[in-house]
Amino acid sequence: MAVSNGSNETSYLLPPHEEDWEEQGIPDFVYGQKELVWDGIQWSRDAPSLPDTLPLSPFDSALCSAWRQRMELGLFRYCLGELQTQTLPGSIGFVAQLNVERGVQRRPPQNIKSVRQPFDPEQFNFNKIRPGEVLFRLRREPDLPGVLEQEDILVMVNVSPLEWGHVLLVPEPVRGLPQRLLPGALRAGLEAVLLSSHPGFRVGFNSLGGLASVNHLHLHGYYLAHRLPVEGAPSEPLDPGGHLHLLQAVPAPGFLFYTSGPGSDLEALVSRVCRATDYLTDREIAHNLFVTRGASPGKSSPSSALTGVRVILWPRKSSFGIKEGEAFNVALCELAGHLPVKTSQDFSSLTEAAALALIQDCLLPPAQAEEVRAALVALIAQEEQ
């Protein structure tokens, strides 16, 4: 149900008293074709800004106002202020941020031993959160093509935020889906990026073994007011149709998928990416995925227009649990060039070479990486026949 705030707009804010939260119900954020912003998104020449200081789309306004209120109500594990940020000297352009509280206070990861581990209702899952942690339900209007079955996506706060507006996109949590990427979840992530008018709103997915800490299907979304290397890095086409590229000159080579238009083009991208992640999951290969606005393949200038959406997929070594004593743990944002650092000492001493060494230690051995590359190219070729 949508909750009226006394005007013609929908309120995504909670009543002041916790006992009234469940009675309010979950508001719906309903969107259609006209809310998806494909053109005109670019970085300002001015200093980067938090999303609530820029012109906002309706999606940004709903997310930011509700997220800020939850922070003020104390629903997070810590109060996130403006994070100390630096761009590491070097050719990559790593964006490092000091986030001591997340390193100390985040929920310990579950005991996960397999990329294909089944959902366990006895473990923590998103059916056990407080009602106030849910911001709204993301719902598509029938005018969006390509999908016959409507899937509800709950947008909820991540109580241990990486950055401003850090949320989780959780498809129908009562279904108890394990952390395996499904088309409906990926489509919701792509469309969430397109609903935002902020160039730094990104979405990502960590598989089990790829540092997902909860085995319950979810994606991450958050704002980062800085450009990242993966937005405009050059790429090499891997198939004649130009549907799969190998991203180059970034922290780690990844498989690049790209779309610049709605409808069948976006649906084809969803299908290709999920076929690739299914292949990896079925073979116990952990992976991370990152969705960002970016330049079309072949465009490598940092100032290139953000003409579409890039989806980058990284197969990687499995890593279960959090490694203590390292400056950062390697998951979706680190592979994209955003480094949340745990301690002041590491933040002040971190170099590009040290960051690259940590990231490259998590990549597949060359022979296995080449095997995966050949398999994904073959999958794309089958689709094109």
Q: Where are the alpha helices (DSSP H) in 123-254?
A: 183-195
pTM of the model: 0.93
Inter-CA distances, 159 with 19, 105, 272, 297, 325, Å: 20, 10, 32, 35, 23
For residue 177, what pLDDT is reported? 97
Phi, psi of 310 (to 5 degrees): -100, 135
Q: Which of 372, 360, 322 is nearest to 102 (CA)?
A: 322
Bridging pattern class, strands 134-140 and 28-31: parallel
CATH number for 26-384 (one of 2.40.50.140, 1.10.1040.10, 1.10.1510.10, 3.30.428.70): it is: 3.30.428.70
Identify the band that residue 303 occupies on the pLDDT scale cut at 50, 70 and 90. low
The pLDDT assigned to 212 comes to 95
pLDDT digits 0-9 by tens, 215-235: 999 999 999 999 999 999 999
Contact indicator for 226, 171 with CB cutoff of 8 Å: no
218, 220, 243, 245: which is the annotated catalytic residue? 218
SS3 377: helix
- Dihedral angle at the C-alpha atoms of 288, 292, 298, 303, nearest 10 degrees? -140
In contact, 372 and 230? CB cutoff 8 Å: no
Q: Per residue in 50-103, pLDDT tens?
A: 666 666 899 999 999 999 999 999 999 999 989 999 999 999 999 999 999 887
Average pLDDT, rounded, for the chain: 90
Q: What is the pLDDT of residue 146?
A: 59
- Residue 44: CB atoms within 10 A of its CB come to 10
Q: How far is CA 334 from CA 129, 184, 375, in A?
A: 27, 25, 25
Structure-block tokens of residue 118: 């089944």
DSSP element (H, E) containing 274:
helix 264-282
Arithmetic mean of pLDDT, 162-178:
96
3-state secondary structure of 379: helix
Largest alpha-carbon pair distance within the chain? 62
Of 148-157, 294-303, 307-316, least confident by mean pLDDT is: 294-303
pLDDT of 2: 39
Torsion on CA atoms 176, 178, 180, 184, rounded to nearest 10: 0
Query: What strand order describes the sheet that includes 95-98?
Result: 85-87, 95-98, 338-341
pLDDT digits (tens, 9 = 90+) for 343-368: 999 999 999 999 999 999 999 999 99
Return the higher-pLDDT residue of 44 and 63. 63
Angle at 168 between CA 164 and CA 172, to 5 degrees: 155
Residue 108 has pLDDT above 80, yes or no: no
The residue-averaged pLDDT of 237-262 equals: 92
Catalytic residue flag (residue 220):
no
Calculate mean pLDDT across residues 34-59.
78
Between CA 202 and CA 192 the distance in angstroms is: 9
Amino acid in position 377: V
List the beta strands (DSSP E) in the chain: 28-31, 85-87, 95-98, 134-140, 153-157, 167-171, 201-206, 219-223, 235-237, 245-247, 254-259, 286-294, 308-316, 338-341
Strand partners, 169: 155, 219
What is the C-alpha R_g of the chain? 20
The Cα–Cα gap between 341 and 319 comes to 18
Q: Provide the pLDDT confidence category of residue 300 given band limits of 50, 70 and 90.
A: low
pLDDT of res. 4: 36
Where are the domains positioned within the chain?
Answer: 26-384
Tens digits of residue pLDDT in 17-30: 787 787 778 999 99
Structure confidence at residue 7 (pLDDT)? 38
What pLDDT, in 10s, does the model give residues 131-151? 999 999 999 987 666 555 567
